[in-house]
Amino acid sequence: MNIALAQINVHVGNFAANLAKMLEYTQRAKAQGADIVVFPELATVGYPPRDFLEFDDFIDKAEEVILELAKAADGIAIIVGSVSRNPVVEGKDLYNSAYFLANQRVQKVQHKTLLPTYDIFDEYRYFEPAHEWGVVRYRDKTIAMVVCEDSWNVGNENPLYKINPMDEMMVHQPDLIINLSASPFAYNHAANRIEVMQANCRRYNLPLYYANHVGAQTEVLFDGGSLVLHADGTVIDELPYFKEALRIYNTEEVAQKELVSGEEAKHKMTLIHDAIVMGIQNYFGKLGFKKAILGLSGGIDSALVAVLAARALGPDNVRCILMPSQHSSDHSVNDARALAENLGTQYDIVPIESIYNSYMDVLKPHFWAKPEGLAEENLQARARGMLLMAFSNKFGHILLNTSNKSEMAVGYGTLYGDMCGGLSVIGDVYKTECFELARYINKDGEVIPENIITKPPSAELKPDQFDSDSLPPYDQLDAVLYQYIEQHQSPQDIIALGFDEALVKRTLRLVNINEFKRYQTAPVLRVSKKSFGMGRRMPIVAKYLN
Amino acid sequence: MNIALAQINVHVGNFAANLAKMLEYTQRAKAQGADIVVFPELATVGYPPRDFLEFDDFIDKAEEVILELAKAADGIAIIVGSVSRNPVVEGKDLYNSAYFLANQRVQKVQHKTLLPTYDIFDEYRYFEPAHEWGVVRYRDKTIAMVVCEDSWNVGNENPLYKINPMDEMMVHQPDLIINLSASPFAYNHAANRIEVMQANCRRYNLPLYYANHVGAQTEVLFDGGSLVLHADGTVIDELPYFKEALRIYNTEEVAQKELVSGEEAKHKMTLIHDAIVMGIQNYFGKLGFKKAILGLSGGIDSALVAVLAARALGPDNVRCILMPSQHSSDHSVNDARALAENLGTQYDIVPIESIYNSYMDVLKPHFWAKPEGLAEENLQARARGMLLMAFSNKFGHILLNTSNKSEMAVGYGTLYGDMCGGLSVIGDVYKTECFELARYINKDGEVIPENIITKPPSAELKPDQFDSDSLPPYDQLDAVLYQYIEQHQSPQDIIALGFDEALVKRTLRLVNINEFKRYQTAPVLRVSKKSFGMGRRMPIVAKYLN
């Protein structure tokens, strides 16, 4: 039997486009001799569809896509993820299901059992878990269909669920497992994914065909990396990362381990770079926008965003605005200009001093009795944000946010100022990782001027200001943030790792009291296991570690 | 037996304060002869604690509160909601539990079975459902303890869950039901709550004692309204709304229907008014802030926010900034000034024309070839937002956002302009409801100048601009929005109700394409069943009805 894995990039709610894409892949798979083509989880509606699932009309449209796809299941079978309605009145109204389409009909619908409800996942918000388990018999093979998380409770030291659906399906003696997934990217996720799928092969002594999404749905990035594994866990093939793909596998060849391919090398910075570029591309492409704008300060964060945007959209579609103030150093403007010239992007210089002064004139009667301070610093950042938004409104650019994860964590940024933007490009990249990413970008020649990478970070909102005046050194800060944000460690645990107590307590307090700022920022392209945004849900008005 | 219901306002994560409050209520209940005092769901940690539940240290602190409370369970029993750890490795690591404390020890822990995971609720994100059900025997009574949602699957036409925990507990022949709740306010929720609890009494033929939270946790408002019901469903007592309370009931008197109290009248605008006032008070009080600032335009939205803030915080703690532009009418300034004088709040007049001109001077070399339009309108709104934030930063005020639900829905507002603010006060109040609320506020005499209520709404960002130039009449718009947002109706369904097809399609499209703006706005005090924010989770980069 020949099984085609279709690793596709769909668009949430864009039923016509998703159907057209699946029809095209089905025809291609059929032309290449596939017996079955496998599409990812919820491929009809895109992942995650979120509360659109609460609209009957949305579910109707997904059902229409399934009926249209079924017509194309002629001489080829189609396995595809979609929603289905729960006919039983008790329980949630929907299932997250794997459909088996053949002979132009829906032959089998197997519902997902394990519903991830953590981090970015909200599946139990919408879906009833499966209470029955079956298999599909097709062309002399017995196929067990599972959906994503259904395979993730195996080989887990602290299993989240009490049952494993494959345990139930084994009574039907399947010949192979097909897993439809929507398993999001994180820079350290791929290795884990392979291990977990290998654990499934070994536990059930079955080969596994795994079709994953690729592409970005707002902040959630899917890397693809679909898999074919031998029953002993050997990786027969891994599909490319960050690209659509269609590949066909003969089950006998898989059984005999013909054509075992090496896995792709997965370097952290390569993955983060490619993931972000895809994230920008898809954000713009799926919204129907082409052009980005950003403020280029001469610092490393905006430099990275400029490079990544130019790579994602083409330099002609990126406009950089340099907005020097009285506190900007000459090198800032020169470095920013050099970068824009390296990239070949348009740039404009728009000084903010006159705008700042006009604010101060108007505010003087109210502010004169108080010393200068944060309000004046923030005014500069906000004047820049407003100018960028004016360009955005005038010319139809989307403003890219340039905040990094470290400053978002501790609130070292100005709400409605440098925290403006439609998409946070590097908001899941710590400052220390920003330096690594810059080095990675420069690995084959200078793209980002060296001075941007080596000079001490500064917000340049007052004379001789450096980040190190207000914040701990970034290597320490980032290490503490990582322990708290990704690892959920307590202050005591982090101090026990050797960090200074005052530093730890101050850092955790800053993270917690700045939730109100993060609440109002753009979606953040998620590249780690714990990004700010929909995967990290914190109360604002809380009193814990602060 | 005497049962005390303690309807308290706790603070998420503020373990020391929550413990102190519960100890105080316990002593008061004991002094008044109570055998048992009942606190609400998760009263130790506050509700909703959100992802703080993922921190071991947070759970440790909740357990310490339980141990401290147990020491006070001396001569009185305490029923209180808290988290507990799941000792079984399979399944989620936590339970949402009702604790029974007596004789200075934890006597019984009954876990919650039905875990709401919809709208603002994320309980399955954190908790394992109960798999075992028991009761408590105390002073000759057998008590069934259930937690909030555990009682909400009864009398439901489309039950969300397959089981009812009380069905399981009935084998132990309990004498009464005690329900610990964190059931949030919506203006039409209270009647529903009484009906559902009555259905429980009737189904099990048992009296029910129901202790609810009161107070605001950021955007989520709890109205209290704790209940005592006779086994036949008669309401024996309903505790006050929007206030802490402690009341003691004798079970024999309840059985004999002595002292049956009338229910409070629940007028929609009274409820919304009181809920918002409490929401503002608690937002400021729990964050440790006192002073609010807002932009007063002369329109009805900011007028409402000024009144509500003055009532919540006192007029001395509210500062209104009037920021006229060249497009502001005289009546706007006069109306705003008259309102501030009626309220007795400080107000300042800060014209924005010179600031606007300074932007236009700087932008002229870039913008000259394009006609004036949205960019220039937004600049005015943003200049105002920046001025307000400058005051906020300088004097330590929190900026109140003044957007209403209708404009948030269709994106008729400027991101980083009038959409600024730390808290959205009326973001869950449709424009037509704003008029009702203004009338309610003026019912005993003019607080809001009549002209503010009667003049046609205008953003005043260009000459002779009225909302009706860009938007359908608010009565039609709000009716369509209500059908889509609250009722989840499809375009076809709404058109079938008699609304113009073009109006419906345009409105729904506007709602969907403006998700990016709502993503970046402040938390919205939730007064309806479906508010923007954590209870309504939509993708940004989707293609559905747009």
Q: pLDDT per residue over B154-165, tens digit each?
A: 988 899 999 999
B475 found inside a domain:
no
At B439, list the tokens. 């009338």
- Do A329 and A405 have their domain in common? yes
Which of B:275-314 have CB within 8 Å of A?
282-283, 286-287
* Cα–Cα distance, A6 to A69 (Å, whole number): 14
ipTM over 0.90: yes
- Do A194 and A324 have their domain in common? no
For residue B266, what pLDDT is reported? 79
For residue A259, what pLDDT is reported? 74
Closest by CA to B389, choosing from A520, A507, A515, is A520
* Cα–Cα distance, A481 to A528 (Å, whole number): 13
- Average pLDDT of chain A, as a whole number: 96
- Do A111 and A218 have their domain in common? yes
- Is residue A139's pLDDT more than 90? yes
A425 found inside a domain:
yes
Q: What is the mean pLDDT of residues A281-291?
A: 98
Which backbone phi and psi does B41 adopt, to 5 degrees? Answer: -60, 135
Range of the domain at B417: 271-468
Q: What percent of chain A has pLDDT over 90?
A: 93
User: Would you place residue A341 in the very low, low, confident or very high pLDDT band (cuts 50, 70, 90)?
Assistant: very high
DSSP letter (8 states) at residue B127: B
Task: Return the biggest CA–CA distance within chain A.
Answer: 86
* Total number of domains in chain A: 2
- Do B257 and B310 have their domain in common? no
Q: Is B350 on the interface with A (CB under 8 A)?
A: yes
Point out the domain boundary residue: A420, A451, A471.
A471
User: Would you place residue B263 in the very low, low, confident or very high pLDDT band (cuts 50, 70, 90)?
Assistant: low
For residue B155, list its beta bridge partners. Answer: none
Closest by CA to B278, choosing from B214, B191, B225, B340, is B214
Which of A:427-486 have CB within 8 Å of B?
none
Closest by CA to B241, choosing from B186, B309, B308, is B186
User: Would you place residue B262 in the very low, low, confident or very high pLDDT band (cuts 50, 70, 90)?
Assistant: low
Residue for token digits 């339980």? B66
Burial (CB < 10 A; 0-12, 13-18, 19+), residue A34, is: buried
Point out the domain boundary residue: B425, B440, B468.
B468
User: Would you place residue B184 in the very low, low, confident or very high pLDDT band (cuts 50, 70, 90)?
Assistant: very high
* Cα–Cα distance, A243 to A300 (Å, whole number): 28
- Do A391 and A303 have their domain in common? yes
- Cβ–Cβ gap B390/A375 under 8 Å: yes
- Cβ–Cβ gap A393/B370 under 8 Å: no
Which of A:48-67 have CB within 8 Å of B?
48-52, 54-58, 60
- Do B249 and B293 have their domain in common? no
Question: Is A377 one of the catalytic residues?
Answer: no
In tens, the pLDDT along A209-251 reads 999 999 999 999 999 999 999 999 999 999 999 999 999 999 9
Interface size A-B, in CB pairs within 8 Å, comes to 265
DSSP H helices, B455-540, are: 467-470, 474-481, 491-496, 501-513, 515-519
Instruction: Sheet containing B2-7: give its strands across.
Output: B105-111, B94-102, B77-85, B36-38, B2-7, B245-250
Minimum CA–CA partner of A347 in chain B: B366
- Whether the Cβ atoms of residue A179 and residue A208 lie closer than 8 Å to each other: yes
- Do B255 and B293 have their domain in common? no
- Do B364 and B277 have their domain in common? yes
Residue for token digits 């408590």? B136
Minimum CA–CA partner of B392 in chain A: A375
Question: Could you write out the DSSP letters of every residue in A438-495?
Answer: HHHHTTTS-SS-HHHHHSPP---SSTT--HHHHS--HHHHHHHHIIIIIT---HHHHH
For residue B264, what pLDDT is reported? 65
Point out the domain boundary residue: B209, B230, B261.
B261
Cα B183 to Cα A537, B95, B124, B309: the distances in Å are: 20, 18, 16, 25
Q: Is A536 on the interface with B (CB under 8 A)?
A: yes
For residue B465, what pLDDT is reported? 86
Q: Which of A424, A524, A540 is the mutation pick for testing B, counting most B CBs within 10 A?
A: A540
Neighbours of A256 (CB within 10 A): 10
Contacts of A282 in chain B (CB under 8 A): 541
CA dihedral (B88, B93, B96, B97) in degrees, to 10, reads 40
> What SS3 class is residue A127?
strand
- Do B168 and B285 have their domain in common? no
Q: What is the mean pLDDT of residues A299-316?
A: 98
- Spatial CB neighbours of A417, under 8 Å, sequence gap ≥ 6: A378, A380, A381, A382, A384, A385
Neighbours of A22 (CB within 10 A): 23
At A452, list the tokens. 């941007």
* Cα–Cα distance, A95 to A111 (Å, whole number): 6
In tens, the pLDDT along B510-528 reads 999 999 999 999 999 999 9
- Cβ–Cβ gap A354/B358 under 8 Å: yes
User: Would you place residue B330 in the very low, low, confident or very high pLDDT band (cuts 50, 70, 90)?
Assistant: confident
- Is residue A318's pLDDT more than 80? yes
Angle between helices A268-287 and A431-441 (to 10 degrees): 90
For residue B463, what pLDDT is reported? 86
Q: Is B520 on the interface with A (CB under 8 A)?
A: yes
The CA-to-CA distance between both ends of chain B, in Å, stands at 61
Closest Cβ–Cβ partner in B13, B122, B382 for A389: B382
A83 found inside a domain:
yes
CATH number where B278 lies: 3.40.50.620
Q: Is A347 on the interface with B (CB under 8 A)?
A: no
Closest by CA to B519, choosing from A421, A228, A87, is A421
CA A263 to chain centre: 22
- Cβ–Cβ gap B542/A12 under 8 Å: yes
Q: Is B487 on the interface with A (CB under 8 A)?
A: no
In tens, the pLDDT along A6-23 reads 999 999 999 999 999 999
For residue B459, what pLDDT is reported? 85
User: Would you place residue A459 in the very low, low, confident or very high pLDDT band (cuts 50, 70, 90)?
Assistant: confident
The mean-pLDDT minimum among A441-450, A461-470, B529-538 falls in A461-470
**d(CA A376, nearest CA chain B) in Å:** 7
Closest Cβ–Cβ partner in B159, B286, B416 for A90: B159
Burial (CB < 10 A; 0-12, 13-18, 19+), residue B320, is: buried
B35 found inside a domain:
yes
Q: Is A488 on the interface with B (CB under 8 A)?
A: yes
B282 found inside a domain:
yes
- Cβ–Cβ gap B541/A282 under 8 Å: yes
Q: What is the mean pLDDT of residues B477-483?
A: 98
β B292-295/B227-229 pair status: unpaired
Q: What is the mean pLDDT of residues A435-456?
A: 96
- Do A275 and A235 have their domain in common? no
- CB-side neighbour CA atoms (13 Å) of B398: 23
- Do A348 and A253 have their domain in common? no
A507 found inside a domain:
no
B237 found inside a domain:
yes
- Is residue A263's pLDDT more than 70? no
B477 found inside a domain:
no
Q: What percent of chain B has pLDDT over 70?
A: 99
**d(CA B144, nearest CA chain A) in Å:** 24
At A96, list the tokens. 């997250």
For residue A262, what pLDDT is reported? 63
- Whether the Cβ atoms of residue A246 and residue A230 lie closer than 8 Å to each other: no
Closest Cβ–Cβ partner in B91, B160, B373 for A91: B160
Residue for token digits 């009926």? A67
- Is residue A27's pLDDT more than 90? yes
- Do A118 and A20 have their domain in common? yes
For residue B130, what pLDDT is reported? 98
Q: Is B367 on the interface with A (CB under 8 A)?
A: yes
In tens, the pLDDT along A362-380 reads 999 999 999 999 999 999 9
- Is residue B504's pLDDT more than 80? yes
* Cα–Cα distance, A263 to B375 (Å, whole number): 50
CATH number where A9 lies: 3.60.110.10
As a whole number of Å, the CA-based R_g of chain B is 26
At A214, list the tokens. 């690729």
